[in-house]
Structure 1
């Protein structure tokens, strides 16, 4: 896979593209999708399709909490947000669709914030963003038109549980190993994007956790994976919108407002927090979220 990337000339292209270009690309794509959502919102207000009440404030809170976790730890927006929406009584299919749609906006702001705080490893970014997006598009098509992603969730959760335990072991070791050379990173990103779209989440836990387990810098790994997630989410959601359409816009709007407010704060926390502590927090988060995924799968 690494050789394939080289053949495509992405290595040379990445040398010419700066992080400023990446930021402008995020802004351009956000404006394009924002125009479509503005149209949907205008139509919704015209037909009185929205209900703004106490539940709307809970949607904002859910988006804030989920994005704060994701921005600071590089993962778990989908897991956190979906869990909160289910707790609020939102049906699973609408919760999942709303989370994927809102992530376009929250990951964009989070990515720009990580660029601002210099949390990006440029070389790593280009190793994961292309194949990750391709995997997400394929996964989104599969889950939209071919099969149920719930079938693979227990297996992903079990894998992540073992990986989370390993991260905690790495964090509490007295002697830290030297960073390992990154191998097959584009393939890892492809798998992360594919499973994220199919299973309703997992880009951060799969890609971030694997990269951290190799001894990479938590700050730059989290910032880079979080920024690449915008493109992964964007192209996956484009497939979801094309196949399934957009429903329950008031949920999406609440998640976007809360997420946009929390995104800069999460990026700032990632740039300031102790890296060993950050690794411990990531490990604990992976264990909790994957353990919950296994429990939920066995409950049905």
Structure 2
């Protein structure tokens, strides 16, 4: 008896805390699911059921059925809809019940009717009424991972789903198929088979083979940053005599661009875009020619994006496959664009309104994206990443900005994970800015170096802070404010040009 009492006490202690849910995977294709409710919540539940079990037999009971539910249901022959009030006998013959109504009293009645029939039920947004939860699902072919937070935070479950979706390679399903084939060919008893399979799969839990490459890559990034700083300082020292006299009296425009660079880089690091367009717009308003303005933006972005890219690298926010697809085409496009706009430097009075028109368009694009932040992303990912990088790099160099607005927004709109897209775009931007800057330096004799120095130092100071808060800041108000400022300044520049021509 004392021993039994001890075991009982130990069991009670274990049950006192932690996630007590028992995970299972149901064969919904062999079961009958009754879904009550066909509004937005009902659509979410139905989508989850059918995405995981396309042949699931689902009966929908609802007095009002949304158009989206109708469209989804018509694509599956195993889904039926009954537009009617719920009655207890609707659960006769059911195996699983899902209540997705916004009527708390009705949800309780449905739960009682389900329990009378010994049926398990899920009640949307009411963990206390649920017998089971519909967790976030990560699927790669035959591999399926369910995530549960014990009903505490579905948002955390969704974020973990995004991380796992990006972290698990698509080839994992091929590995599963190969291991299945291998298992069927193994001979011997159960112990021998397990030993052999453990040997084959041990590589999955060993240290990543490219860890040495990442360590080398880290030194390459920092070495390039240091070298870039040395290049910029050397150019300032030898090409502009006034730089030597900065200790005695720095041109006030340096401080203007120092503050502007800090603000613009802080915004860019937080929302992943707008540094180029805001900096170029500001530079043009201060009388800087388009090519020189673009050179200043890209020189400053060497350090700011190097630091930001490094921070995202440390936080594991990089999709390496996407990085390499963007990098080479982006560099080619950026160097081509830098060469073209530099060749037209003597016609700055004509190219300035063209660039202002471009920044005006980008301002409108940013404003529209701010209003559509909650819009659903497309389920189809962009396939031609190389062309996106080529076009984004070229337009960015010609217009002094747009890499984030074009490339990052396109990736996110195409269904890419926002956090990994942001980190990857920032890191690739570092190398693209470096190569385009070298092209600008080779083409231009140099001027307005105090403005360039301000942008370089200001953006560098803001980058580490901005990368840290990239997942915490509310973006809508910032994007709207940025877009309005860009639009107004661009319009001012265009209007002034038109008035001069008239």
Does residue 420 of structure 2 align to residue 220 of structure 1? yes
| CA distance in structure 2 between the aligned counterparts of 1:40 and 1:295, rounded to whole angstroms | 34
| CA distance in structure 2 between the aligned counterparts of 1:220 and 1:291, rounded to whole angstroms | 29
| CA distance in structure 2 between the aligned counterparts of 1:38 and 1:297, rounded to whole angstroms | 32
CA distance 1:245–1:22, change in 2 (3 Å): farther
Higher helix share: 1
Shift of 1:153: 4.0
The match for 2:288 is 91
The match for 1:139 is 337
Q: Based on CA coordinates, which of the two structures has the bigger radius of gyration?
A: 2
> Is the 8 Å Cα contact of residues 133 and 231 (structure 1) preserved in structure 2?
yes
TM-score (ref. length: structure 1)? 0.78
Structure 1 range deviating more: 179-188 or 226-235: 179-188
The match for 1:79 is 277
Among 38, 41, 44, which residue is 2:233 paired with? 38
The match for 2:221 is 26
The match for 2:435 is 235
| CA distance in structure 1 between the aligned counterparts of 2:216 and 2:482, rounded to whole angstroms | 32
CA distance 1:152–1:45, change in 2 (3 Å): closer
Does residue 322 of structure 2 align to residue 121 of structure 1? no
5+ residue gaps, structure 2, are 1-208, 498-502
Among 245, 254, 258, which residue is 1:56 paired with? 254
| CA distance in structure 2 between the aligned counterparts of 1:250 and 1:158, rounded to whole angstroms | 26
Counterpart mapping for 1:112-261 below 5 A? 112-145=310-343, 150=352, 153=355, 156=358, 160=362, 163-164=365-366, 167-168=369-370, 170-173=372-375, 176-177=376-377, 179-261=379-461
TM-score (ref. length: structure 2)? 0.49
| SS of structure 2 residue aligned to 1:171 | coil
Shift of 1:235: 0.6
Structure 1 range deviating more: 289-298 or 261-270: 289-298
CA distance 1:296–1:48, change in 2 (3 Å): same
> C-alpha root-mean-square deviation of aligned residues, in Å?
3.2
> Is the 8 Å Cα contact of residues 311 and 467 (structure 2) preserved in structure 1?
yes
> Is the 8 Å Cα contact of residues 170 and 213 (structure 1) preserved in structure 2?
no
4+ runs of 1 displaced by more than 6 Å? none
| SS of structure 2 residue aligned to 1:111 | helix
CA distance 1:267–1:248, change in 2 (3 Å): same
> Is the 8 Å Cα contact of residues 157 and 293 (structure 1) preserved in structure 2?
no
CA distance 1:81–1:179, change in 2 (3 Å): same
> Is the 8 Å Cα contact of residues 19 and 122 (structure 1) preserved in structure 2?
no
| CA distance in structure 2 between the aligned counterparts of 1:60 and 1:169, rounded to whole angstroms | 30
The number of residues matched between the two structures is: 279
The C-alpha deviation readout for 1:246-275, integer Å capped at 9, x for no partner, is: 3333222222221111001110111334xx
The C-alpha deviation readout for 1:33-88, integer Å capped at 9, x for no partner, is: 3333332344457874544154433222111101101111122112222333455x
> Is the 8 Å Cα contact of residues 281 and 486 (structure 2) preserved in structure 1?
no
| CA distance in structure 2 between the aligned counterparts of 1:202 and 1:47, rounded to whole angstroms | 30
The match for 1:295 is 491
> Is the 8 Å Cα contact of residues 166 and 213 (structure 1) preserved in structure 2?
no
| SS of structure 2 residue aligned to 1:223 | helix
The match for 2:304 is 106
| CA distance in structure 2 between the aligned counterparts of 1:97 and 1:178, rounded to whole angstroms | 35
| SS of structure 2 residue aligned to 1:91 | coil
| CA distance in structure 1 between the aligned counterparts of 2:223 and 2:356, rounded to whole angstroms | 37
CA distance 1:82–1:129, change in 2 (3 Å): same
Shift of 1:142: 1.4
The match for 1:5 is none
| CA distance in structure 2 between the aligned counterparts of 1:68 and 1:132, rounded to whole angstroms | 23
Does residue 499 of structure 2 align to residue 269 of structure 1? no
| CA distance in structure 1 between the aligned counterparts of 2:419 and 2:412, rounded to whole angstroms | 10
> Is the 8 Å Cα contact of residues 300 and 460 (structure 2) preserved in structure 1?
no
CA distance 1:150–1:46, change in 2 (3 Å): closer
